[in-house]
Copies of this chain bind each other. A is one copy, B any other.
Amino acid sequence: MGHASTLPKTYQKLRDETAVRDRSLREKVMTLEEAASFVSDGEHVAIGGCTMSRTPIAMLWALIRSGRRKLTVSRSIVSTEGDLLYASGVSDHIITSWFSQGIVWGISQVMRHFTENHVAKFEEWSHMSMGLRYRAGAMGIPFMPTRSMLGSGVRDVVTESVKEMICPYTDDKLLLLPALNPDTALIHVQRADKYGNAQLDGLQFMDLDIAMAAKRVILTTERIISNDQIRRTPDQTKIPFLTVDAVVEAPFGAAPHECYGNYEPFFSHLGAYAEATRRDPVAGVEEYLNRYYREPKNWADYLSLLGVTELLDASRRGRSIVND
């Protein structure tokens, strides 16, 4: 089984793949496990959110439990979920602009272990380039011209994936970033209806473009709301139902990361993870996977392991953004 190509498709192929999708207004609520079965080994999966924000942890949890292999994973910035994807064998190829738990915890020793030993690949693009690649994919164009990455090593290491041109209008040098159209996008939101209309509060990151660019979108949501509520404030809808293929209600679906306005990161849990993987990257992450990903019976069981005290504390801090 090969890896997904992450270079642009011909327009005909892009259109054909979209044409056969069921884009009608239909109910698509399902379980985490059902949604996980949509993803095939070897696919390119894009992850919404950024660093520790609105990471679709519940869906990644289900993917890791389902035993998927050799996914190519892309994301704006990758945090602890990248360690878990490498260590579980779900992905051996991550495309992103930055990969580590977060600056306050120091460099990810798990990322170092897997990349320095050539077990897995960390393909690095600049942050804006990641965004523009998704945006080109969302717009149905094969590339986006940009001024970034020129002259740098970042450009050189992806030289087989980029083109340069001289602008026919201005004679400026431009880099043409290849469109990124993921096979599946995983996006966690505060609220969505059963059709997949999603309303996001606060930071949007690259989620709108990722949803438009992907061939399939799996939404997890803190709460499924009525379509009536969506239609009362249509200018708050950020992802339209017609791009969405699955909707899963997953309360605390980004824990131990944050979900804007709902909960902040679970700092002590994340601190303990960082400490354990600093001591021993391989054993530390394996133990974490067993305890939090493989052994729990279900998502509620996982949340119980995080602990009610932590859930309440993260929620209290999270809600302070709207109720200070």
A: which residues have CB within 8 A of B? 7-11, 140-147, 163, 165, 167-172, 174, 176, 178-179, 201-204, 235
Contacts and interface: CB of A to CB of B under 8 A. Distances in A.
A167 B143 contact: yes
Given A163-B168, A163-B169, A172-B10, A143 B142 contact: no
Contact of A11 (B144, B147, B179, B201): B147
Contact of A8 (B147, B169, B204): B169
A192 B201 CA distance: 20
Nearest to A9: B170
Given A141-B146, A143-B145, A170 B10 contact: yes
Given A140-B147, A204-B235, 4 more contacts: A10-B172, A141-B144, A142-B170, A202-B235
A142 B9 contact: no
Contact of A169 (B7, B170, B171): B7
A-B residue pairs, 3 tightest by C-beta = A8-B169, A163-B168, A10-B170
Contacts of A146: 141
A140 B235 CA distance: 27
B172 A178 contact: no
B169 A143 contact: yes
A167 B142 CA distance: 7
Nearest to A15: B147
A10 B172 CA distance: 7
Nearest to A167: B142
B170 A8 contact: yes
Given A202-B235, A235-B202, A10 B142 contact: no
Given A163-B168, A163-B169, A174 B7 contact: no
5 contacts: A10-B172, A141-B145, A141-B147, A145-B145, A202-B235
A143 B179 CA distance: 16
B235 A174 contact: no
A192 B64 CA distance: 47
Contacts of A202: 235
A165 B174 CA distance: 14
Contacts of A178: 169
A292 B178 CA distance: 52
A142 B140 contact: no
A142 B172 contact: yes
A169 B7 CA distance: 8
A273 to B, nearest CB: 30
Contacts of A147: 11, 140-141
Nearest to A164: B168
Contact of A170 (B11, B145, B165): B11
